Copies of this chain bind each other. A is one copy, B any other.
Amino acid sequence: MKRTERVGAMLQILRENPNKTFSLGYFCDMFDCAKSSLSEDVSAAKRALEISGYGRIETSAGAKGGLKYIPSISKKAAENLLNDLEEMMGEKERILANGFLYISDIMFHPAIVKGVGQIFAKKFENCGADYVVTVETKGIPAALMTAEMLNLPLVVLRRESKISEGSTVSINYFAGSAERIQKMSLAKRAVKPRTKALIIDDFMRAGGSVRGISDMMREFDVEVMGVGVMIASKEPVKKKVSEYFPLMYLGTVDADNQIIDVEQNVQAIEEVFG
């Protein structure tokens, strides 16, 4: 087997299993080669990732050591993604008569949410979370991609408790522009006490949903390590949660004059990519 083939196959296997550690021996067996020649392959794989602009390989020593792929995107790719989001969100045909903006297709767009997951994964890679948590429905894709990149389970809070969930804990909270009472519920077996969670959601207006998720986590004795949202509304300025990391800001949607006030959170990119 040639070096190019070994490096390519190694990259592909690592990439398919983000944040999972493989021992050097695993690849020695697979490629039937010595550890010494593999270490050159690892260097080549690292350089290839630098060139591609996606992710990196981390090596660790010791008995439990080995290689793992840390997914990410380059600063340039992240900037391109936010440019795409800004352009998509600014399309006038998204304006609904009631002053809302139609964004379901964006939240379910596989390439968009994958990029969002890569940015969140980089932002929160050292937050120590045991789960990614969201509440149904539109936040699920971005949360799933973040969880995949971080190699963590995804926990989804439901609006209604389902018969297939077993016993559940439910809470009521105020949410939405009309501040209606809403309910969310979580199966008792979904999380373990004294663990840590990363909250990911699609859209934050006043922060009621994220606050609800946080309150639910407290019920389960789970600590919240961070909050990532794809879009935060500019109003109200005062949210029900103090710390959150938004990628985009949405201001007024003026249906009469067909104006959408959308802005990138430029600081987010600076904060994550330096």
Residues in chain A within 8 A of chain B (CB atoms): 1-13, 15-17, 30, 41, 44-45, 47-49, 51-55, 96-98, 100-105, 108-111, 113-114, 136-137, 140-141, 144, 147-148, 151-156, 158, 163-166, 187, 189-190
Q: What are 17 A-to-B residue pairs whose CB atoms are below 8 Å? A: A2-B47, A3-B4, A5-B48, A5-B51, A8-B45, A12-B52, A12-B55, A30-B51, A96-B164, A100-B163, A101-B164, A104-B164, A108-B154, A109-B153, A113-B144, A136-B137, A140-B144
- Residues of B with C-beta under 8 A to A53: 13
A3-B4, A54-B12 are contacts. A164–B108 as well, Cβ < 8 Å? no
Q: Which residues of B contact A52 (CB under 8 A)?
A: 8-10, 12-13, 16
- With a cutoff of 8 Å between Cβ atoms, the chain B residues found around residue A6 in the complex are 48, 51
Contact: B153 with A105, CB < 8 Å? yes
Chain B residues contacting A154 (CB-CB under 8 Å) are 108-110, 141
Known contacts A102-B164, A109-B154, then 18 further A-B pairs from the complex at CB < 8 Å, ordered by chain A residue: A4-B7, A4-B44, A4-B48, A5-B51, A8-B8, A8-B52, A12-B48, A102-B165, A104-B164, A104-B187, A105-B155, A108-B147, A111-B151, A113-B144, A136-B136, A140-B140, A141-B154, A144-B144
Give every chain B residue within 8 A of A3 (Cβ-Cβ): 4
| Stoichiometry (number of copies) | 2
Nearest to A16 among chain B residues (CB) is B54
Contact: B8 with A108, CB < 8 Å? no
Contact B148 A114 (CB under 8 A): yes
A185 CB to nearest chain B CB (Å)? 12
Q: What's the Cα separation between A163 and B151 when bound, in Å?
A: 34
Q: Given A15-B15, A165-B102 in contact, is the A44-B5 Cβ separation under 8 Å? A: yes
The answer for the CA separation of A122 and B254 in the assembled complex, in Å, is 44
Least distance between A32 CB and chain B CB atoms (Å) = 11
Contacting A108 at CB < 8 Å: which of B97, B100, B111, B144? B144
Q: Contact at A108–B54, with CB atoms within 8 Å?
A: no
Within the assembled complex, what's the spacing in Å between the Cα atoms of A5 and B66?
A: 21
Q: Are B165 and A54 in contact (CB under 8 A)?
A: no
Q: List B contacts of A109 (CB < 8 A).
A: 153-154
A250 to B54, CA, bound (A): 40
- Rounded to whole angstroms, the CA-CA distance of A147 and B109 in the bound complex is 9
